[in-house]
Structure 1
Amino acid sequence: MSQQASPRGTFLKIADVVRAQIQADDSMSELPAAADLMRAHGVSRGVALRVFAVLQKEGIAEPVPGGRWRVIRPGRGDDRRPLAERLTDVIADDGLEVGEAFQ
């Protein structure tokens, strides 16, 4: 009887690999795409999505529009609000009027 690797916990092992990559590369701002994880580790899309869910639960990553995932670096104070919301604040704070130059 041959032994096969159990798929249980595979997503946790891959999450460990991705977590180590994040810790090793301080400039890493995005997680690999699901397709990249699937290809690199020979897993299904469902497993790749579970990896992202683990990292999100740990506060290491968050989803961004377009199906990508962003790395969260605690203590950095990055403004992660949507661009439209940040621009609205700039316009209001600077008292800009319609047609006025934006610098």
Structure 2
Amino acid sequence: MPQQASPRGTFLKIADVVKARIERNAEMTELPSVADLMKDHGISRGVALRAFAVLREEGLAEPVPGGRWRVVRDGQHEDRRPLVERIADVISTEKLSVGDTFPSAS
């Protein structure tokens, strides 16, 4: 009787495979597409997305506009939140009031 693969944990195995590729290739800047993972590993879209989520939680990848994922190397993480969210965060953190001078990097 043929043995069936268990879908439980498959996304973790795929995340490990992608993580190993990132570690082996210092020039790698972009993860394979969801479609490429699906085709190469015979997995569903949901499994591929869960694997990407694991990489994101571990700080190894982040989504970029257009549905792609970027590799994040140590010291390369940038705040990619929308500008309005970043400004609101500064206002609340610095406890700024109307008329206060906005802090500037320059």
Change (3 A) 1:12 1:78: closer
State how far apart, in whole Å, the 2-side matches of 1:74 and 1:17 are. Answer: 19
State how far apart, in whole Å, the 2-side matches of 1:4 and 1:79 are. Answer: 42
Which amino acid letter does the alignment assign opposite residue 30 of structure 1? E
| SS of match in other structure, 1:29 | coil
TM-score by length of 1: 0.73
Which amino acid letter does the alignment assign opposite residue 3 of structure 1? Q
1:50 partnered with 2:50: yes
Structure 1 unaligned spans of 5+: 86-92, 94-103
Which amino acid letter does the alignment assign opposite residue 55 of structure 2? L
TM-score by length of 2: 0.71
Which residue is 2:7 aligned to?
7
- Number of residue pairs matched? 86
Which residue is 1:40 aligned to?
40
| SS of match in other structure, 2:63 | strand
Structure 2 unaligned spans of 5+: 84-104
The equivalences for 1:1-103 within 5 A come to 1-75=1-75, 77=76, 79=78, 81=80
Deviation digits for residues 4-53 of structure 1 (CA, Å, limit 9, x no counterpart): 11011111111111000000000000000000000000001011100100
